[in-house]
Amino acid sequence: MNTTTKKIEEPPSDTDLDAWRQIAAEDGLRRIPPEEIVAAIQRIGPNGDQQLLNALMGYISDKILRTLRRRVSTQHHNGGRDIIERAHEQLIVAILKPNSPNGKGLRVAFRAWVGFRGDDSIRAEMRERKRYTHYKTNEDGETVEPPDRQAPDHVEQVTYVEHLLSKIPDPRKCLAFRLHMEGCPVTSNKGPESISKTLGVSEKTARAWIEEVQTLLKNLGVSNDRT
């Protein structure tokens, strides 16, 4: 019996290209979790069905942009467009690299991972603008820098921690720690957002993953406010 005419309630297998074609043709991608769409794109690959690939990539591209626009303030230089474009390009490339940290992360928790890459792009923009800032001079011709509200090595430490996190092979553990650092509770009965719910694991497992990453960072001499 042909079941392709039925309304699709659950995401099809990432190998069921006919079902994905039907969903795309019926404008039904909004019913599918973005993580499942990313997995389907990665299964199809850059040399697969180009019409289907373009439909899925177009939808995911728009969703990434919408997520970043909600994340990035228009108070940034150029209305935040440079920040958004940098993060968007990085994520689009990563989708077609399923074994990359970003490629894995987008399959696990799409919205959270897009947010992290947006934050990275904000930090990169701040470093770049600071590098090319022309400071005022005093009456003696000496450069007067504005007070720095962050520790001198703050940006360098964040960059180093990000580098270490990118080496963790399991993106779920990495994401659990990132969410922890963002202040997301491990579990919550009062709201929809929690680490255990986002990752689909028990509270015990989520805490174990966070502690594992914390131990790794401590052993490497990196401290953080939540350890």
pLDDT band at 80 (very low <50, low <70, confident <90, very high): confident
pLDDT at residue 8 in the model: 44
In DSSP notation, the chain reads ---TTSPP-SPPPTT-HHHHHHHHHTT-GGGS-HHHHHHHHHHH-TTS-HHHHHHHHHHHHHHHHHHHHHHS-TTSGGGGHHHHHHHHHHHHHHHT-TTSHHHHHHHH-HHHHHHHHHHHHHHHHHHHHHHT---EE-TTS-EEPPPPSS-TTHHHHHHHHHHHHTT-S-HHHHHHHHHHHTT--S--SSSS--HHHHHT--HHHHHHHHHHHHHHHHHTT---TT-
In a domain, residue 33? The reply is yes
Residues 106 and 183 in one domain: no
Residues 26 and 126 in one domain: yes
In a domain, residue 116? The reply is yes
Q: Which domain holds residue 87?
A: 11-131
Residues 124 and 216 in one domain: no
What tens digit of pLDDT does each residue of 17-69 get?
899 999 999 989 999 999 999 999 999 988 889 999 999 999 999 999 999 99
In a domain, residue 4? The reply is no
Torsion, Cα of 80, 69, 107, 33 (10° steps): -170
pTM higher than 0.95, yes or no? no
What tens digit of pLDDT does each residue of 148-157 get?
444 445 555 6
∠ CA 82-88-90, rounded to 5°:
105
In a domain, residue 3? The reply is no
Query: CB neighbours of 56 closer than 8 A, spacing ≥ 6?
Result: 20, 24, 29, 37, 40, 41, 44
In a domain, residue 139? The reply is no
Number of domains in the chain: 2
Residues 24 and 107 in one domain: yes
In a domain, residue 22? The reply is yes
Residues 94 and 164 in one domain: no
pLDDT at residue 34 in the model: 93
